Each structure stands twice: as structure tokens, then as C-alpha cells.
Chains A and B, each alone.
Chain A
Amino acid sequence: MLSKLAPGDEEYRGRVGERATTCGARLSPVRVAIAGAGNYAHHHLKVLASLADVATVGISNRGGSDLTSVARQYGVNATFTDYEQMLDSTQPDAVFVVVSHFETVRVATSCLGRGIPCLIEKPAGFTSAETASLAKLAADHQCLNMVGVNRRYWSILHNALTVILQHGPLLGILIDAPEPIRRFRAKAAYDPRLYDLWMIASTIHAIDLFRCLGGEVMEVQSLKTSRRETSGDSFTAVLRLSRNCLGTYVSHYNSGGEWSVTLYGDGLKAVIWLGRIKAQVYFDTGSTVPVHMDAVDLNYRWGLYAQDRAFIDALASGQKLTYPASDLEDAAKTMRLIEQIGGFSEL
């Protein structure tokens, strides 16, 4: 009976929803549409293609990439140049918003406004107010939403954290996030408007980890200087976090090197290099132990499988998102922290 109904039919959606709520799990696949077909969409598509309970029903892009070949590669039947047309014709259960940074809010607003659950790639807005308004829209439509900050799901990070927690509480977090802005500018690698908002566009991943690992921010003291970048190119901040640990953020743009996270525990510390995806635990006895990454992060973009799986599971079961997921309400808090560290409050 169900199979005779068109996927977009109201009755179909109603029945699927009804079954999801009564037995706790769907019998039919979750129908996902992807807005955006850029580089990062490929990573999501690879994950979605591997999930047996997901059907990618459509992909949209305004242009710039060979949409048909992307769709063929990942077995997506329908392609669109307008995301609204995609939403109308495919009636998806969820949308992955993987469009360019400056389009994210517009597309997400449209999806949430229609009551469609969304996984929105970071940043979900360039200000905390923008993110909060998206959160309100989602709440008004009782819409499941997730912000894609995939570093929260990196297995190597959690493997290191659990080693720390095994020996005692997490005492401190040091995040060093150098950004090669000068090189990016020279190569014209990104939209030029992004460089002034780089902390929001990219370093958000690093800053978000403070809240993911240490809990809510209780207190922040920050300093910044500007040499070449008008919005600042050297940042230092100290944070007091709710899990009774201290955070230190350091970012000297163009200083070279890679992002690193150091977790301090009782009698040990773990250093995770986020560029090489390597981690090492140093004990106060002088011994060191390497921390490994889970196999799933070798096959997919690091953390992305777990993140997408968590979103699909929450959607299919009708349950709320759980740790370490970040939703729009949570992302607004991270945005407020970024504004405090980077002095973006005037935006």
C-alpha cells in the first residue's frame, strides 16, 4: 500500500511519520535532498550513498559544477538549478544545506520555513543574531536541525579525550589555530569577502571545540592585534568553562604550522594535530602513547560519517540530537563566543 503512494504525497509523508513515531524507527528510507554541489557536498554524498536507510532524492546547484556527473556518481536521480524547485518537486524528509557561506542563511531559512529538517554546514549565519533567528525559525516549525561542525565527531579527538577522562578530569584545553590567510589571499582561493570573516568562516571549527569539550563558556578574556588584516590577525583568549576547566585560544594568522588541540588532564596531556590527524598522549612519567583514529574516519571525511549518521538517526527515530551534536541554538552560543574573541560584536 505504502509503495503505491508517490514519495511526495502528503499521505505518504504522514504514514512514514506515523510509523516513525509509533515504532521508533522508519521502515522506508529517509529522503534527503542536497542544496549545493561543491567540494564539500561530495563528502556528504559519499556518506549518504553508504547509508542503506537513506535515499538522496535530489541535488541542486546554481552552476559552476557538473551537476549531472555528480548526480550520476552518487546515484541521485533528480538535479535542479534552483533549490526551491528541488524542495517543491522532491518533498524531501531533510535537506543538507551545503551551499556557499553567503547563501547558507537564505537557503536554510527557506527550508526551515517550510518545516523541513536541515543539516546546515557551518557557519549557520555570520552573526549570533542571524544564527539565533534561524534557531527561532526552526523552533517555531518544530524542525530538527543540526549545524555541521564535523570536528566534534572526530574519533581521534574523542579517543584522546576519553584517555584524559580515564585518568582524571579534563583540566584545560589549549587550541592553537594559525590561519594562512596571506597565502589564501595570494592564491585567491576563496571569496574575498571571507578573509575578513575568516574566524567565523573557518576557525569556528576550532573555537567550537572549547564548548564541545569543556562545556558552556562562563567567562572570556580576549586580546587581539591587527597588522595586515583589518579584522585582526593575532588573537589570544582565555576562557572559563562549565566543566571546571580552563581554555586557552591562540591564533596568529600566517605564523605557519597547523591547528592543534592540547587537552590537559591529571598526570597526562594529549596533543592532537588537526592537520595531520595525529595525536599523542604524554604522561608525567615520561612515557608517550599514540592515539589512533577509528577506521570510519579513514574511509570518509573525518567525523562526517558519524555526524551525518547521527542526524539521520535522530530524524528517523524522532528523537533529539545528542552529544556531541550542535544545533542552531547551540551554534548561536558558539557564534557569541567568536564575537567575544574576535571583537565582531559591531557586525
Chain B
Amino acid sequence: MHRFKLAIGWRYHAYKQAVRRYLSEVKSAVIRPFREYRQERQLLETVRGKIPSVSSNGRAIARFKVAVIGAGSMGGHSCLGLQTLPQVEIAAVADQNPCALERLRQLCHLSDTRCYPSVEALLNEEVVDLVCVATNTTSHLAVARQVVAAGVRRLIVEKPIGNCVAEARDLACLCANRKVKLAVNHSRRWQSDYAAIKRCIEHGYIGTLRQVYAVPGPGGLGMIGSHFFDFTAYLSDSPLAWVIGFLDSADRPLWQGPQFKDPGGYAVVGLQNGVRGYLDNSDDLSYKSGFVVLKGDAGRIEIDERLRQWHLDSRSLGRRTFQFIDTTDVRRYVAKVVAQMLTDAPPPCGATEGIAALEAVVAVHLSSSRGNVRIPLPLQEKDAELEFPFP
């Protein structure tokens, strides 16, 4: 070995490092499935640990009772996520469609869960600690109001928070008055990889953030675009100030039914701290692939959700690549959201953030219909009262 060292001189350390890296890559490729499984297990353990076993008044809690309203695809994901939490019991499910209810019951093996044909029936019969509203967007706000009126203290509403800004503001006031903890499920706010990215920005690795460029692909501004409006505000640490939008002209049919409309499009967003956001959610982008570039004055961060990777490119310190360590599985992040909601801590995405994302989506519609003018945020009274048939 000594002779070898002498023969290759100073390159010895470089070779050693290269061999070590190669071995490490081979190792991670071979044991990757096992490692991912182990990480998921660790994640679930963490999530479970965050749910308190005693209530704030010190009394032991047997199990938290949770009700899910809406037995569609997101309702199914919510139930599967809730089932991973041993401290949680899915007490009841409601949907006006009996077929959907039966399908959900079979999919999630909900033998002990009571099913109701309406929200009213569920709220009359059940006393629950938390309600997940996973209906279509047009009914989010009405259902949420009923839930709050029934005295439930914790509420998760799927994104977007609703289809009318003024009504969403009313719900926020109602929740604040009744001290109801409301979360809007803009999932990236709960994801630890995005929290890590935010920490790197705060640490100064890319200098001051100047621009967020997001290309989530097709899927509708209400359903997908709203995530990225919220995400831009979250990473920029600033409220949205204005929006200029361009809606797709083609009428994309939605699987939820012809009564719903959620066109794609693209938008330019200004934030109060001067950060610019560019979102392209156009329908002609062939496939969904969350790709985001965060550009600062001293570097950039590229996030590729499809490859579950992000790259930190600092002007002075070079490029580093990170694999996502958190889950992007819908069921598992629902579990994280629920676990967080059952603590006393405020939710990372509450009514204010949820409404801001909805306002941005509405502003794109308004801007597009008014010749792409700049729409200042928050929306003024008349604009805020408009209703949209988001699915």
C-alpha cells in the first residue's frame, strides 16, 4: 500500500475518495428499497410521537375520533392515512353518494366506521375531535361552516379552501371567534424537504431570494396552481401582492363532471417583499412534474419532485444534490397533517394562507378576463364575492 501511495503521489487521496464514493453509490443502489422502507417506518414513528397521549387539561386521551366528509379519492387517501395512526379512530364517514361510501368502506376495510348519507346526519349523531373535509371544492365552505357550527374544534379542509374568497373569509372569522383550529391542506407546508429548502434559503446559501419559477404541469389552476401560489408565499416568507394571469382557452373536460371548471394557465406573481413568481400550469404541458427553480442573488435551488431530488447551487460553494427524505405519498402526508392538527401548535397552513392561495387563483381568472391586467391582492369586495366552479 505504501508503494502504491508513493507511486501515485498526491492523487492517492483523490483516488481513495473516488473509490469510496463509488462504493457508497453501489451500496445505496442495492439497499435503496430497504432504506426507503426503513425511512417510512421512521417517519411514521415520528408522526406517532407527535400526537399527545394527554389532552391540554392533562386528562388521558384514549383515541382521537376523526370524521371524514367526502368519500371520493381524497376521502380515501385521508382514511388510509388516518389508519396509519394508532391514536386515531375513524369514527364516521359521510357522503351523499351511497356507492362512493360503499367503495370507500371496502377499500379501507372500515368495518367499525359508521357511514352517513349527509353531513347533518353525521354531526347530529357523532361527537368527534377532528373533521377532514374532502368533498368537492364547491362544497368545502358550506360543509366547514356546518362542522364549526356543530362545535367541532379541529378542522382540515382540502385545498383550495373554497370557491369564493368572501365566504372563505367569513369561515376564517367564524373559526377565529369559536377558537377552531383550521388547516388547509397545502401539503408542501408540512413536508420536511420543503422546510429544509426554506432553511437553506434562510441560511443565505442562495443569497436573497428574488424569483420563484414553478412548472407543475397541467391539472388546473385551482387544484394544482393553488399549491404553487401558496408554496411561493411560503418560501418567500411574504404575502402575495399582485397577479397577472393568462387562462387556457380550451375547455378541458374534468372527470369530476361537466358542472366543474378548472382551466390551466400561467401567471406572473409579485410578492410584497419584491420576489417575483412565475407559474406555468398550462394544459398543453403534457404531464405533471413539479419542477421549481428558486433563484437568489447568490445561487439557486432546483426542485424536481418527479425525481424526488433538489439541488442547491451556491455561487461560492458549488452544487449539492439532495434526495427527498420525506414522503410524497398522499396517505402519509395526510397522516402528518392530522398528527400536527391534534397537537396544540398552530397549523403551518391555516385560513390566512389558504385564502391567500385561493385569492391568487381567482386573480388569475380576473386578470385573464380583463385583458391581462394586474390584479392587486388582497381582492376587493366585489371580486372577492365571485364564485368559481372548481372541482
Contacts and interface: CB of A to CB of B under 8 A. Distances in A.
Contacts of A292: 17, 20-21
A301 interface: no
Contacts of A325: 316
A132 B199 CA distance: 31
A161 B204 CA distance: 12
Nearest to B312: A162
B266 to A, nearest CB: 28
Given A167-B196, A295-B14, A155 B205 contact: no
Given A167-B192, A169-B199, A292-B20, A324 B204 contact: yes
A162 B199 CA distance: 9
A65 interface: no
Interface string B1-23: 00000000000011001001100
B315 interface: yes
Nearest to B203: A165
Interface string A273-299: 000000000000100001011111011
Size bin of chain A's contact surface? 20 to 34
B298 A323 contact: yes
Contacts of B290: none
Given A243-B203, A285-B42, A292-B20, A166 B325 contact: yes
Interface string A286-321: 000010111110110000001101100100000100
B317 A153 contact: yes
Given A165-B200, A298-B14, A324 B325 contact: no
B143 to A, nearest CB: 35
Contact of A295 (B17, B196, B207): B17
A324 B20 CA distance: 28
Given A153-B317, A165-B199, A310-B316, A293 B17 contact: yes
A230 interface: no
A133 interface: no
Given A162-B320, A167-B192, A292-B21, A323 B325 contact: no
A290 B23 CA distance: 12
Contacts of B20: 290, 292
Interface in B313-337: 314-318, 320, 322, 325
Nearest to B208: A322
A159 interface: yes
Interface string A314-338: 0000010011110000000000000
Given A162-B322, A167-B192, A323-B205, A310 B312 contact: no
Interface residues of B, number: 29
A204 B297 CA distance: 28
Interface in B185-232: 192-193, 195-196, 199-200, 202-205, 207
A169 B199 CA distance: 7
A158 interface: yes
B316 A306 contact: yes
Contacts of A310: 315-316
Interface in B16-48: 17, 20-21, 42
Nearest to B323: A166
Contact of A298 (B13, B192, B205): B13
Nearest to A311: B316
A162 B200 contact: yes
Contacts of B204: 322-324
Contacts of B200: 162, 165
Contacts of A159: 320
A51 to B, nearest CB: 14
Contacts of B203: 161, 165, 243, 323
Contacts of A243: 202-203
Interface of A: 153, 155, 158-159, 161-162, 165-169, 243, 285, 290, 292-296, 298-299, 306-307, 309-310, 313, 319, 322-325
13 contacts: A159-B320, A165-B196, A166-B193, A168-B195, A243-B202, A295-B14, A296-B318, A298-B14, A299-B14, A322-B207, A323-B207, A323-B298, A323-B314
Interface of B: 13-14, 17, 20-21, 42, 192-193, 195-196, 199-200, 202-205, 207, 297-299, 312, 314-318, 320, 322, 325
Given A167-B325, A322-B315, A323-B298, 20 more contacts: A158-B317, A162-B320, A166-B192, A166-B322, A167-B192, A168-B195, A290-B20, A292-B17, A295-B14, A298-B14, A299-B14, A307-B316, A310-B315, A322-B207, A322-B299, A323-B203, A323-B204, A323-B207, A324-B316, A325-B316
